[in-house]
Amino acid sequence: MDYFAGVDIGSTMTKVVIMGEEEVVISLVRVTTPEQRKLANKVMEEALEKASLSFDEITYVIATGYGRINVAFADKQITEISCHARGVASLIPAVKTIIDIGGQDSKGIKLSGGKVVGFVMNDKCAAGTGRFLEITARALGVKLEEIGELSLTARNPAEISNTCTVFAEQEVINKLAGGVPLNDILAGLHQAIASRIASLVSRLGIEREVMVTGGGAKNVGLVKALESKLDLPVLIPPDPLLTGAIGAALLGRDLVKKAKNEGLPVTKRQRSLEEVKFFA
């Protein structure tokens, strides 16, 4: 039995998925810490243990995400664009546009026949990413997990003019002090981000079906605001954080299958799952 692993090291979360030839055996999500190399190992070890597998039983490992170069035990690195696309295509083949909203970046991916035909990224500016909401929520004294629901109760969404996070922080504090209801401010914030994300992804030409992945997908307020901005319904996968890792594992499976069909050896790295000491 072949097993395939996908390791997605994002800027905020690290995800590992191990799958067999047909289905996912185990998946894990852990917070990314600064020592990414060690962490990748640790999370992999934990996943293997939970799946009762040894590292040698894994036929192919693909690393993806922001920290993919730090996965010493991976056989190949593939960008999260290709991995998300693969993951989403396996879940719902009808998806043509993916909007991935992460902790520190956001991207749009255009698909045709399950393959990537275009992409856009914003990984420089906090506006349009989870970070923007994180900072403003903190400034408002609200828990990040609650802001989505709260924003939906707004009657009169506030107009937030600053997309620069630093300025936005000040702006929301001023508004709150000025008596604007909290849920209105939150709704305004969600709309501001949705606008930013929508115009970024619009560069690709948005086509249905649209799917949102990443941490942002778990925020109902953001999803609703996006739907409103795009004037289109938006799909959410069952595990929005895992599409990248699932895609990575699937791509590993695809590569091995292709190699077998063509009678070629599978290019693997000399790898072992040891603690990487020299970059401690």
Partner 1 sequence: MAEQKWPEKYPVEGKRGRKYGTVAAMRVAPMVKAAIGGAVEAKAQGKAIAYCFIESNYDEIIRAMDIVPMWTENYAGICGAKRDTQRFLDKADSLGFSRSLCTYATCGLGFDAWREELGSMPPEAPWGGQARPDVMLSSGQIICDPRNKWYQAVQQFMPDVPVYNCAALWPLYEDDIDRREVEPYYVKYLAEDLRGLVRFLEEHLHGKMDWDRLWEVIKLADETTDLHAECRELRKAVPTPMDTGDAMNTMVPQAFMMGTQEAHDFYRDLRDELKYKVERGLGVIPEEKYRLIWPGGLPSWFALMDFNYFWSKGAVFPVESTYNELVYPARELDLPRTDDPLEYMAWRWMRRQTYWWDKARKRPGSEPDVEKLITWIEEYKIDGVVIHEAYSCRSWHVGLLWQVNQLAKIYKPIPVLILKEDRKEVEYRELPSLVLESDMIDISSYSEAETRAKIDAFIETLESIKSRKVEV
Partner 2 sequence: MPEDDFRPDGGLSTAEKYYEDYGSRARELKKQGKKIIGYLCSLTPLEIVTAAGFIPFRIKGSVKEPITKADTQMETIVCPLVRSCFDITLKGNYDFLDGIIIPHACDSITRSYSTIRYSLGLPYSHFLNLPHTAKDISLEFFKAELDTFRRSLGNFAGEEVSDESLIRTSRLYNENRAKVRELYELRKSDPPLISGTEITKVLVASMSLPVEESTELLSRVVDEVKQRKGISPVQKLPRIMVIGAQVDDATLIKLIEDSGASVVADSVCVGSRDHFPPTDITPDPLDGIADHYLRRLKCPRTYVEWTEGTYDDYLELRFGHIGSSLRDFKVDAVILYILKYCDPFGFEVPARVKYIESLNIPVLHLEDEYSMASIGRLRTRIQAFLEMITSW
Query: Where does this chain bind partner 2 (CB under 8 A)?
Result: 66, 77-82, 115-119, 121, 123-124, 251, 254-255, 258
CA–chain centroid gap for 106, Å, is 8
Residue 161 near which of partner 2, partner 1, none (CB within 5-8 Å, type-dependent): partner 1
Query: CA-to-CA distance for 176 and 180, rounded, in angstroms?
Result: 5
- State phi, psi for 106 to the nearest 5 degrees: -140, 150
Of the candidate residues 164, 180, 232, 273, the single one contacting partner 1 (CB under 8 A):
164
Would you state the structure tokens that stand for residue 218, as one six-digit string? Answer: 């778990």
Helix axis angle, 80-91 relative to 243-262, nearest 10°? Answer: 90
Residue 279 near which of partner 1, partner 2, none (CB within 5-8 Å, type-dependent): none
Residue 162 near which of partner 1, partner 2, none (CB within 5-8 Å, type-dependent): partner 1
Contact present, 214 and 100 (Cβ < 8 Å): yes
Residue 54 near which of partner 2, partner 1, none (CB within 5-8 Å, type-dependent): none
CB 267 → partner 2: shortest distance, Å? 10
Query: Quick one: which segment of 41-49, 73-81, 110-118, 193-201 binds partner 1 (CB under 8 A)?
Result: 193-201
Contact present, 211 and 95 (Cβ < 8 Å): yes
In the bound state with partner 1, the residue whose beta carbon lies nearer, of 153 and 170, is 170
Residue 213 neighbours by CB under 8 Å, 6+ apart = 84, 87, 88, 98, 99, 100, 101, 237, 240, 241, 243, 244
Of the candidate residues 161, 260, 274, 279, the single one contacting partner 1 (CB under 8 A):
161
Query: CA-to-CA distance for 217 and 211, rounded, in angstroms?
Result: 9
Query: Quick one: which segment of 29-37, 144-152, 168-176, 182-190 binds partner 1 (CB under 8 A)?
Result: 168-176
Residue type, 195: S
232 binds partner 1 (CB under 8 A): no
Positions in the binding site for partner 1 (CB under 8 A): 127, 161-164, 166-167, 170-171, 174, 195-196, 198-200, 202-203
